[in-house]
Amino acid sequence: MTSSTSDLEAQKSFNDDNFLKHLEEAVKKRKNFAIISHPDAGKTTLTEKLLLYGGAIQQAGAVKARGEQRKVTSDWMELEKQRGISITSTVLQFEYNDTTINLLDTPGHQDFSEDTYRTLAAADNAVMLEDAAKGLEPQTRKLFEVCRLRNIPIFTFINKMDRPGLEPLSLLDEIESELDLATFAINWPIGSGDFFRGVIDRYSKNVFLFSKAERGKQSIERRLKLDDPELHQLVEKDLLDKALEEIELLEVAGAELNVELIRAGELTPVFFGSAMTNFGVRPFLDSFLKMAQGPVARISSQGPIDPMRETFTGFVFKLQANMDPRHRDRVAFVRVCSGRFQKDMIVRHARTGKTIRLSRPQKIFAQDRAVVEDAYPGDVIGLNNPGMFAIGDTLYSGKRVEYEGIPCFSPEIFCWLRNPNPSAFKNFKKGVNELREEGAVQILYDIDQSKRDPILAAVGQLQLEVVQHRLENEYSVKTRLEPIGFQVARWVVGGWPSLKKIGRIFNCKTVQDSWERPVLLFKNQWNLNQLEEDNPSLSLSKVAPVVSGVNPINL
């Protein structure tokens, strides 16, 4: 393929010294993060407050209102509407204090899917949001584990301080002992619930007073010095004394604030606040932006690729089908990793070696789309995907690069997928293969060749519903799901030879994944523990090894 004018222009600017300066500025200016939380912790509320500061929305309530009022634009959205949930995860970009912030929004429902995990693969930082009354919850723990795989920095926001909550010290203790993550409280609460009086900033020794506003209204934040005599008239002595004693304890026994450790994912700064009343959100955002890491170098087959590499590289972390049924489109979300992305640019697709023009890149804000002219490391763009892209694919210009793929995460729900109508087999096969390629669900197979029906393996129930819904609507096949009675899956490190060495194993079922690698299914964690105890030489993994350059088996 010959180079286009814009490609030549791009090349020209790459040779330009100004370009490098421009790229450096763009990289320095960017911060990207995802929020990890359990449903109801207040993610939507916090997101909305953050967007308000960035001027991306004009009024509180806009994020929710948008969700409720939006038109049904696809069958996909129809499913969302029926279930009253949000499946699509989008990327919200906004400017705040000279920083371009990309907030990677993860689906909020507890029936979350692999998309939620994959979105974290594109994030450089994570905000862990906890409800002060509940502490760590199951979904947060799972998402944290994924962040741990890449050691991304975690910033903790303990929300709903205006409601009775757990003791702040035990909230920190829980994070330290259960997640094996050191904590450093940036501010410390004075009381909680009806007795929440505000927070003490440990660094500036300022006290931010909280005055309860009407539900949903912004609180009025008053700032006083800790030694201001007026403070004692405004805050009960016992509450203030308790907070000060606890801070003293932290000074003596707690970790020190060390940005290096934060960036290595070993220490989490903790903030207390209340998203609903907008208390503590701005100080949180300001500190977050100071300490969060910018776009980081990503691991590739050629070693780490610096975001300042002059030529564009990026990888696909999510595919979304049918965002608009009139066009039966699929959008591939690409995280820009290095260089500058430009509209109409011609790039190479690492897996196939093909040359492609990226002609209609989009920025997607909630359901709205705008054409992107250019994008930089840390940004996310949506590309129309005529079936060419798969999760983990690398796009590059210049010297060949292939990023480490996105791993498959351990599924927890398994069902046989039956096709009761043999005459629809062709469509069934096509649908199953395409949905797997798209990453909508993982497919496992029985090792007994005669039982060739696929086993759907998902991390959330919703994925199964989406697959059935799409098979019916897009491939005209009505299918039946049959539970298989297993709940835990593990990949065998070392593959078939390692499994053979162990000999006969009990209380688990051996199946194979789409790359013909052995996967063990267990009825429960107890059975898994038992097998591991009995066979210490067997190494099992929660995450499938990354594959690249190998084609999976089809149905």
Amino acid at 39: P
Distance CA 455, CA 436 (A): 11
Q: List, in sequence order, every beta strand (DSSP E) within 121-261.
A: 125-131, 154-159, 182-185, 187-190, 198-201, 206-211, 220-225
Q: Which is nearer to ligand G4P, 274 or 322 (CB)?
A: 274
Kindly state the smallest distance separating residue 7's Cβ from ligand G4P, in Å.
42
Closest approach, Cβ 276 to ligand G4P, in A, equals 3
Cβ proximity to ligand G4P, 275 vs 457, nearer residue: 275
Other C-beta atoms lying within 10 Å of the C-beta of residue 330 = 19
Kindly tell me which of 45 and 183 has the beta carbon lying closer to ligand G4P.
45
Question: Measured between alpha carbons, how far is residue 468 from residues 85, 267, 426, 428, 436 in Å?
Answer: 17, 42, 16, 11, 13
**Only segment of 72-80, 156-164, 500-508, 516-524 that touches ligand G4P (CB under 6 A):** 156-164
Given a contact cutoff of 8 angstroms between Cβ atoms, the answer to whether 452 and 446 are in contact is yes
**How far is it, in rounded angstroms, from Cα 487 to Cα 444?**
14
Tell me the HSE value of 246 on the side-chain side, using a 13 A CA sphere. Answer: 24
Q: How far is the CB of 185 from ligand G4P (least distance, A)?
A: 18
Tokens of 215: 């539900």
Q: What SS3 class is residue 223?
A: strand
Which range in 41-49, 74-82, 319-327, 408-416 contacts ligand G4P by CB under 6 A? 41-49
If the CB atoms of residues 70 and 343 are measured against ligand G4P, the closer one turns out to be 70
User: Distance (Å, rounded) from C-alpha 46 to C-alpha 290?
Assistant: 19
- Gap between the Cα atoms of 140 and 228, Å rounded: 39
Interface residue with ligand G4P among 102, 140, 156, 159 (CB under 6 A) is: 159
Show the site string, 260-289: x = touches ligand G4P by CB under 6 A, - = not: --------------xxx-------------
Long-range CB pairs of 229-232 (<8 Å, 24+ gap) are 231/207
Q: How many residues touch ligand G4P (CB under 6 A)?
A: 16
Direct distance between the N- and C-terminal alpha carbons of the chain, in angstroms, rounded to an integer: 34
Closest CA to 274 of 203, 205, 210: 210
Which 360-399 residues touch ligand G4P, going by CB under 6 A?
A: none
Binding piece for ligand G4P, criterion CB under 6 A, among 42-50, 245-253, 354-362, 501-509: 42-50
Q: Which stretch binds ligand G4P (CB under 6 A): 35-43, 179-187, 513-521, 545-553?
A: 35-43
160 binds ligand G4P (CB under 6 A): yes
Task: By CB under 6 A, tell whether 494 contacts ligand G4P.
Answer: no
With CB under 6 A as the contact rule, the residue among 60, 89, 102, 108 that binds ligand G4P is 108
- Asked if 42 touches ligand G4P (CB under 6 A), the answer is yes
Which of 150, 163, 212, 343 touches ligand G4P by CB under 6 A? Answer: 163
Give, in order, the Cα–Cα distances in Å from 265 to each of 14, 132, 154, 181, 373. Answer: 34, 22, 6, 8, 34
| DSSP assignment of 469-520 | HHHHHHH----EEEE-S--EEEEETTHHHHHHHH----SEEEEE-TTS-EEE
- The closest alpha carbon to 520, from 448, 447, 470, 465, belongs to 447
Using the contact rule CB under 6 A, the part of the chain among 32-40, 140-148, 184-192, 194-202 near ligand G4P is 32-40
Provide the mask over 116-155, with x wherever binding to ligand G4P is found by CB under 6 A and - wherever it is not.
----------------------------------------
Q: Which helix (H) or strand (E) holds 338?
A: strand 330-338
CB of 62 to ligand G4P, least distance (A): 13
Closest distance of CB 47 from ligand G4P, Å: 8
In angstroms, give the least distance from the CB of 285 to ligand G4P.
Answer: 15
- Token digits of residue 42: 């207040």
Which one, 132 or 464, has the nearer CB to ligand G4P? 132
Under the binding rule (CB under 6 A), the answer on residue 41 touching ligand G4P is yes
Binders of ligand G4P among residues 43 to 62 (CB under 6 A) are 43-45
Query: For residue 492, what are its two tokens?
Result: 């065998």
- Report if residue 162 touches ligand G4P, rule: CB under 6 A: yes
Q: Which residues make up the interface to ligand G4P (CB under 6 A)?
A: 37, 39-45, 108, 159-160, 162-163, 274-276
